[in-house]
Amino acid sequence: MLSEIKNLAEAFAPRLLEIRRHIHAHPELSGQEYQTAAYVAGVLSSCGISIREGVGKTGVIGELAGKGADPRTLAIRTDMDALPIEELTELEFASRKPGIMHACGHDVHATIGLGTAMILSQLSEPLPGNTRFLFQPAEEIASGAQWMVKDGAMEGVDAVYGVHVYPSVQARHIGVRYGALTSAADDIEIIIRGESGHGARPHQAIDSIWIAAQIITSLQQAISRTQNPLHPIVLTFGKIEGGTAPNIIADRVRMVGTVRSLHPESHASLPQWIENIATHICATYGAKCEVNYRRGVPSVQNDPTLTQILETASIEAWGNEYVKILPEPSLGAEDFSVYLDRAPGCMFRLGVGHQDRPNYPLHHPKFEIDESAIVTGVVTLAYTACKYWQR
Ligand code: NI
């Protein structure tokens, strides 16, 4: 099985390069992946895979029927959207669209999804159960997974695998992590309403800027004193606005931020915890407080059994020295976690780093990859799928 998969991947390699470069040159922003989706659907159809278009607005689903011996359905999810970044790579297949760039490797992910579909549909022995390929839109705005799930993408799915490229791991390497891979990411808005007055007579006013400072300082300190230090939390206020002039006490401050957490217990407790601290501080000094907490995406928690299957498949395919157990999760976010509410899953990191030159990080205008990683990704996912059906 493994050698058949590797042979097919080598045979498809030039075509996969062509696909990746086409998608890279024609990036589309989140929720506007019309051409990419049509292109993906075309490739899937040409492999005889049945497709459903317009799932979650611009998403595509490919369904590869198994021979029916196993009732389970395995999903393989990749994403398709690009970022509002002006590409500065000088690649010959660089973005042809000003201000839009595949700087997060979703062009590579979509190509790997297609490559995996091409291989699994060509195996001499059909797989026992159904494989569903999810090509998701709008990952960068943490919305596409929800759109897809709402449109039934996860109905009947028993397990889901996903992949994300990772420039700090060298190409031909696979990064595996058990448990938490990425962080939960929520949005917070706090509005403080005090009372305006003369800057020289603060006792006759309620200074909402000073109260905002108290809230920010208290929250940062309270993380270290009231939250479990083994469950990391990052709270960043990225924007704060209030006041009109140097000598007028501000009657209103609005601050917005992002809240990252890895442990489901901390994640659950955060809205109430923040609201308590903010409203009590405001009440102490006579201000009114409004806290709006918006849930973003949960943390990606890799399922141990599915991670084990992926790790074993990767080691068999590439050898121990090419499979790294990642020591730490990331406080970045990934909406792959939304699928995990419906079925267990596992996302792995695919090394795309060049060996002989510096690698730019994800979301950088010069981000680019060692394209040999595409075959590595395709073989890893295809062989992991085969191993999934064997247990
Ligand atoms: Ni990404």
Q: Going residue by residue through the chain, which has 391 residues, state the pLDDT in tens, using 9 for 90 and above.
A: 999 999 999 999 999 999 999 999 999 999 999 999 999 999 999 999 999 999 999 999 999 999 888 999 999 999 999 999 999 999 999 999 999 999 999 999 999 999 999 999 999 999 999 999 999 999 999 999 999 999 999 999 999 999 999 999 999 999 999 999 999 999 999 999 999 999 999 999 999 999 999 999 999 999 999 999 999 999 999 999 999 999 999 999 999 999 999 998 999 999 999 999 999 999 999 999 999 999 999 999 999 999 999 999 999 999 999 999 999 999 999 999 999 999 999 999 999 999 999 999 999 999 999 999 999 999 999 999 999 999 8
Q: Determine the distance separating the centroid of ligand 1 and the alpha carbon of 262, expressed in angstroms.
A: 18
Whether the CB-CB separation of 299 and 332 falls below 8 Å is answered with no
pTM: 0.91
* pLDDT at site 68: 85
- Rg of the chain on CA atoms, in Å: 24
Question: Closest Cα to residue 373, out of 109, 117, 114?
Answer: 109
- Residue 194: HSE in the Cβ half-sphere, 13 Å Cα cutoff: 26
Whether the CB-CB separation of 199 and 249 falls below 8 Å is answered with yes
Helical ranges in the chain per DSSP H: 2-25, 34-46, 106-122, 144-150, 208-226, 264-284, 304-318, 373-390
The total of structural domains in the chain comes to: 2
CATH of residue 291 = 3.30.70.360
Q: Which domain holds residue 287?
A: 184-297
Token digits of residue 53: 């278009």
Q: Determine the distance separating the centroid of ligand 1 and the alpha carbon of 104, expressed in angstroms.
A: 5
Question: Closest Cα to residue 79, out of 131, 170, 125, 146?
Answer: 146
Q: Determine the distance separating the centroid of ligand 1 and the alpha carbon of 189, expressed in angstroms.
A: 25
Q: Determine the distance separating the centroid of ligand 1 and the alpha carbon of 154, expressed in angstroms.
A: 20
Q: Determine the distance separating the centroid of ligand 1 and the alpha carbon of 106, expressed in angstroms.
A: 6
- Residue 388: HSE in the Cβ half-sphere, 13 Å Cα cutoff: 31
Residues 380, 337 share a domain: yes
Q: Determine the distance separating the centroid of ligand 1 and the alpha carbon of 138, expressed in angstroms.
A: 10
Helix (H, G, I), strand (E, B) or coil at 54: strand
CA distances from 323 to 10, 304, 307, 346, 368 (A): 20, 16, 12, 15, 22
| Interatomic CA distance for residues 199 and 248, integer angstroms | 5
Q: Determine the distance separating the centroid of ligand 1 and the alpha carbon of 139, expressed in angstroms.
A: 7
pLDDT above 70 covers a percentage of the chain that reads 100
Q: Determine the distance separating the centroid of ligand 1 and the alpha carbon of 194, expressed in angstroms.
A: 41
Residues 367, 353 share a domain: yes
Q: Determine the distance separating the centroid of ligand 1 and the alpha carbon of 109, expressed in angstroms.
A: 9
Q: Angle between the 304-318 and 373-390 helix axes, to the nearest 10 degrees?
A: 120
Q: Determine the distance separating the centroid of ligand 1 and the alpha carbon of 18, expressed in angstroms.
A: 21
Q: Determine the distance separating the centroid of ligand 1 and the alpha carbon of 105, expressed in angstroms.
A: 6
Distant-in-sequence, close-in-space partners of 245: CB < 8 Å, separation ≥ 6: none
Residues 175, 44 share a domain: yes
Residues 270, 340 share a domain: no
Q: Determine the distance separating the centroid of ligand 1 and the alpha carbon of 152, expressed in angstroms.
A: 23
- Residue 273: HSE in the Cβ half-sphere, 13 Å Cα cutoff: 19
Q: Determine the distance separating the centroid of ligand 1 and the alpha carbon of 364, expressed in angstroms.
A: 12
Neighbour tally for 168: CB within 10 Å = 12
Residues 127, 209 share a domain: no
Q: Determine the distance separating the centroid of ligand 1 and the alpha carbon of 281, expressed in angstroms.
A: 38
Q: Which of 262, 297, 332 is the last residue of a domain?
A: 297
Q: Determine the distance separating the centroid of ligand 1 and the alpha carbon of 60, expressed in angstroms.
A: 18
Q: Which of 247, 270, 297 is the last residue of a domain?
A: 297
Residues 125, 16 share a domain: yes
Residues 264, 324 share a domain: no
Residues 173, 223 share a domain: no
Q: Determine the distance separating the centroid of ligand 1 and the alpha carbon of 164, expressed in angstroms.
A: 7
Helix (H, G, I), strand (E, B) or coil at 253: strand
Residues 134, 34 share a domain: yes
Q: Which of 297, 332, 358 is the last residue of a domain?
A: 297
Q: Determine the distance separating the centroid of ligand 1 and the alpha carbon of 77, expressed in angstroms.
A: 12
Q: Determine the distance separating the centroid of ligand 1 and the alpha carbon of 283, expressed in angstroms.
A: 41
Whether the CB-CB separation of 64 and 130 falls below 8 Å is answered with yes
* pLDDT at site 338: 97
Residues 130, 45 share a domain: yes
| Interatomic CA distance for residues 344 and 326, integer angstroms | 20
Q: How many residues does the chain have?
A: 391
Q: Determine the distance separating the centroid of ligand 1 and the alpha carbon of 274, expressed in angstroms.
A: 29
Residues 39, 117 share a domain: yes
- Residue written as tokens 């401050």? 253
Residues 156, 11 share a domain: yes
Identity of the amino acid at 279:
T
Whether the CB-CB separation of 115 and 107 falls below 8 Å is answered with no
Q: Determine the distance separating the centroid of ligand 1 and the alpha carbon of 163, expressed in angstroms.
A: 9
Q: Determine the distance separating the centroid of ligand 1 and the alpha carbon of 280, expressed in angstroms.
A: 38
Q: Determine the distance separating the centroid of ligand 1 and the alpha carbon of 318, expressed in angstroms.
A: 24
Q: Determine the distance separating the centroid of ligand 1 and the alpha carbon of 298, expressed in angstroms.
A: 15
